[in-house]
Amino acid sequence: MSRQKKWAFLVASVCLMMVFTAACNSGGAGNTGSSSSKSSTGTASTSTSDNGVITDWSKQPEMTLTVFDTLANFAGEQPGWFAKLIKDKFNIKLNIVAPNLSGGAQMIATQMASGDLGDLVVGLGGKDYENAIKSGMILDWTKDGLLDKYGKNLEKYAAQALDANKKQYGGGTAIYGIGHNVGTGDGPSEGADMTFGPMLRWDLYQKLGSPQIKTLDDYLPILKKMQEMDPKSDSGKKTYGMSLWSDWDGDWSTLAKVTAQFYGYAEGDGFNPGDMILTKADGPEYQGFLDDNSYYMQGLEFYFKANQMGLLDPDSLTQKFGDVSNKFKDGQVLFSQFPWVSNVYNTPAHTSAGKGFALVPFQDEKVYSSGFNPYGGQWIWSIGAHTKDPARVMAFLDWLFSPDGVQETSIGPKGLAWDIGKDGKPALTDFGKKATANGDTPVPAQYGGGTWKNGVSALNNATLTTSQINPNTGEPYDYNLWNSTLTANPDPVTKSWREAMGVITGKELFVKNNQVAVTKPFFNGQPAAQEPSNIKLKHSQVGKVIKEYSWKMMFAKNQDEFDQLKQQLVQKAKGLGYDDVVNWEVQQTKNTVFTMYK
Amino acid sequence: MSASLTKTADSALTRKRFQIKDKYTLFLMALPFLVLVFLFSYLPLYGWIYAFYDYQPGIPLANTDFVGLQWFTAMVSDQVQRAEMFRVLRNTFAISSLGIVTSILPVIFAILLTEVRNSKFKRIVQTLTTLPNFISWVLVYSFAFMLFSVNNGFFNHLLMSLGWISSPTNILADDNHVWLAMTLWGVWKGLGWGAIMYIAAITSIDSELYEAARVDGANRFRQIWHVTVPGIIPTYFVLLILSIANFINNGLEQFFVFANAMNMNHIEVLDLYVYNIGMGNSNFGFATAVSIMKSIVSLFLLFAANGLSKLIRGQSII
């Protein structure tokens, strides 16, 4: 009997071992995220140049690239006109994996732990990026002369950014990727509009006689009057001065933080990972988020006062961005922090009736601008080390960084939404005018079908800055900045705004009045330092408290409660290590970005 | 004599052999499940090792810094931190206790349901109450937002048009009754589902007992009190002990979707806290350390409840 028992035990343990090892294997590097269906071994001789470099990818067998994209807001196979464009050029399909849609940071962590990031990796930066390189998940572009063979445009248009990546992450020899939004030039890098506003309902503001707005607080009485003038939205709902959302909050309330951007400050310094300090775009100055009169605190106070006056949408805390966007569409909100939020109201139906949002800055404003960065930003484009066809991925990436690629990614293939006019300059076609005003415009089947909106590139990361000049057309890549667009017959709202302000675009207005703080690109050949583990823990604890109390402060019943909450916030945050986090971040900024001003 | 002896010995031997064979097949039959238990319940314990490292996804553990008990001490390192842990535990215990108090509701519901004579009505009610169990919390929240939002919510509209309130209230951002509200949502979602087990228990009660009770002159209420209730008490206690073992895990999803800055103070249970601090910021070491503590406390609670049950009822499940 004991022999039998032993035998059974042996069988059991062998079984367990087998299951155990099988489980381990399947969880390891064997888990192929890259679903590259076919490799391109059989190279057609007609599509290669003399030295064996493939020049015409459309003749290669079709393959699907798995794109791990931390910035994408769309998952699955890229549809529509962009899909058709790259299918014709490279015979590839893009299968987009979007952590944004499923689990965020956790999904990135899971994918990192699996050891394979797919064929093309978009937007990975900071510590994750460094770890991915360390553990061999990112391809070195200098291997087998890959970059020299297939990266001509990258070398031509983004040489400094390649070099920066080499110094920062490749030990001076290897190149593991390229930063986003690469550009050279002075002044703000934004397009016709800046990223930040504030925007007001122009029609109501004009009816009030365009009162002068000196400080941020001056908006409040104006908004109150506007609310009284227009108490109901299109669908008959109550109007509010402002409507906020909390689903984009990080370690603070995002909308309150935007106040700092109105004054030329932003969270962190643009180079280091810290976000507990507000740093000036163009000078060696900083504030802690919780400093007594920091721009963040001013922002909280601004919304608190708005709430006291009945201007703040009471759903602000519980609703999501989508709900707010719908309220803007309906005309329920009168003030917006960003042009791209309120633009949904400026439909032809509204603007032809004279109703629409337009930029109305306050006198003290100094808007934050990201500026051109020849070294590239932190959302890095890179290639997965396990990809089956590195050459094709490289060639595709190279095209994305080429003038043609940038132009066609932003506004579609030539001939569909835009074309070169008789004067040799680019202009929107009739279809283009329709499509840019209304994303639901159907696209002809020969260009991929579907609607304009769903055909837009889902990669959602910039390559070259689109406000730069396209050498092929002599005009910027961004159609909003084309001469043909700027001189086209504007809608009544835009027309009256241009007449009142004496400029054509929002950017021009800020520049004219010297109200822009432009970030200077920083580069010292080193990657940014990463938070040590104890700081990281404190950071997340403090962030949680700041976020929580910020909303409580905005919705405080009276000034006393506001002050009380403010005091509690500071006390609690300091108790959880706020000062340590800020000190660490300030130290990093002083060691890096601030050295530019010495 | 000797022949019969051999015969007995022979049969004993066959029996013994059969027994061995029997045991062997039974063991083989159980084996797949043992493997599963090992795989899903014991193997993951290996992951506890992450509590002692400063783990970064992508970097193998061998190249990671060993930090010892840093994450464990971080939980109680200073006064504010301790207060945080205390607050989170208080929320966890409060919501779990309310959950246990309301665990009697499915019992009552099951009894009432079985007493309904109209089988069509009974089925409709059962389906309608079981359905919410299959709706995800995310959907429940959007439903709640439609119902209670200040601007367009049905609830505020109704009360305003009835003239009961003059200005709309924001129920979703209310901190005063979060524990109760969360419990009510939980009851709404789980009532029908929880009753299924009790309905099964009631149907398995011998009908002769009811007949006997009727013969003795018991009315319907008496029958419930003296036959049905004692019939399902053991089921209730087993489920109660199991839920006490789960006292400290009250899940994440419900609290995650309903949480906002206003009610965070009272809604943040341990699981949500671990998510916010650990997972949300990739602090895997800290998250693991907290969940180890949780497992230990759960184990302790299970044995305590089991011991108490043994003491009071003379019955236990372990």
- What distance lies between CA B28 and its chain's CA centroid? 31
Buried residues in A11-31 as b, exposed as e (16+ CB within 10 A): ebeebbeebeeeeeeeeeeee
Quick one: pLDDT at residue B59? 84
User: For residue B301, how many C-alpha atoms fall within 13 Å in the half-sphere facing its CB?
Assistant: 18
CB A91 within 8 A of CB A392: no
C-alpha–C-alpha distance, residues B132 and B88, integer Å: 28
CA distance A193 to A180: 20
The predicted pLDDT at position A27 comes to 35
Give the model's pLDDT for residue A372. Answer: 93
3-state SS string for A101-161: HCCCHHHHHHHHHHCCCCCEEEEECHHHHHHHHHCCCECCCCHHHHHHHHCHHHHHHCHHH
Pairing of strands A335-336, A199-201: antiparallel
**Nearest-CA residue of chain B relative to A555?**
B262
- Identify the three-state secondary structure at position B68: coil
Interface test with B, best of A245, A323, A533 (most B CBs within 10 A): A533
Query: Which amino acid would we find at residue A296?
Result: Y
| Number of residues written out for chain B | 318
Q: What was the pLDDT predicted at A34?
A: 41
Tokens of A321: 């961005």
Is the Cβ pair B280, A540 closer than 8 Å? yes
* C-alpha to C-alpha distances, B206 to A99, B203, B209, B232, B236, nearest whole angstrom: 55, 8, 6, 12, 18
CA angle A224, A229, A232 (to 5 degrees): 95
Interface test mutation site (partner B, options A544, A545, A550, A569, max chain B beta carbons within 10 A): A544
pLDDT for res A28: 35
**N-to-C CA span, chain B:** 49
Q: Characterize A158-194 residue by residue with b for buried, 16 or more Cβ atoms within 10 angstroms of its Cβ, and e for exposed.
A: bebbbbbbbbbbbeeebbbbbbbbbbeeeebbbbbbb
Give me A364's structure tokens: 């003290």
> What is residue A262's predicted lDDT score, i.e. its pLDDT?
96
- Tell me if chain A has a CB within 8 Å of the CB of B136: no
Do A548 and B265 count as a contact with CB atoms less than 8 A apart?
yes
**pLDDT for B67 beyond 70:** yes
10-residue stretch averages of pLDDT, chain A, 598 residues long: 52 49 39 40 52 84 94 92 94 92 80 90 90 92 92 94 94 94 90 92 95 95 95 92 89 94 92 90 93 95 96 90 92 94 90 94 94 92 94 95 95 92 90 88 93 93 94 92 89 93 94 94 88 86 91 94 96 93 95 90
Token digits of residue B165: 């309130």
Using the structure block, give the residue that is written with the tokens 């703040």: A312
The pTM is what?
Answer: 0.82
- Chain B residues closer than 8 Å to A576 by CB: 80-81, 84
Test mutation, A17, A235, A318, A551, chain B, max B CBs within 10 A = A318
The one-character DSSP state at A182 is: B
Q: Region B172-201: what's the mean pLDDT?
A: 89
Q: Which residue has the higher pLDDT, A567 or B274?
A: A567
Evaluate whether A271 touches A593 at the Cβ level (below 8 Å): yes
Query: Is the sign of the CA dihedral A493, A498, A504, A509 positive or negative?
Result: negative
**Whole-angstrom distance, CA of residue A501 vs CA of residue A509:** 7
Helix (H, G, I), strand (E, B) or coil at B16: helix
Q: Using the predicted structure, report yes or no on whether residue B243 has a pLDDT greater than 50.
A: yes
Task: Tell me what pLDDT residue A297 has.
Answer: 96
C-alpha B153: how far from chain center:
32
- Of A8, A238, A533, which is closest to B67 when you measure between CB atoms? A533
Whole-angstrom CA distances from A469 to A28, A186, A407, A472, B2 are 46, 13, 10, 9, 112
Of A8, A313, A541, which has the smallest distance from its Cβ to B277's Cβ? A541
Q: Which helix (H) or strand (E) holds B172?
A: none
pLDDT of residue B20: 67
Question: Can you tell me the mean pLDDT for B154-183?
Answer: 83
CA A542/CA A573 separation, integer angstroms: 5
Length of chain A: 598
Confidence of residue B188 (pLDDT cuts 50, 70, 90): very high
| B226-258 CB burial, b ≥16 within 10 A, e <16 | ebbeebbeebbbebbbeebbebbbbebebbbbb
Minimal C-alpha gap between A571 and chain B (Å): 9
For strand A199-201 and strand A120-124, is the pairing parallel, antiparallel, or unpaired? unpaired
* Contacts for B202 with CB less than 8 Å, ≥ 6 apart: B110, B111, B114, B228, B231, B232
Q: What is the ipTM of this complex?
A: 0.77
> Would you call B65 an interface residue with chain A, using a CB distance cutoff of 8 Å?
yes
User: Nearest-CA neighbor of B170 among A319, A245, A243?
Assistant: A319
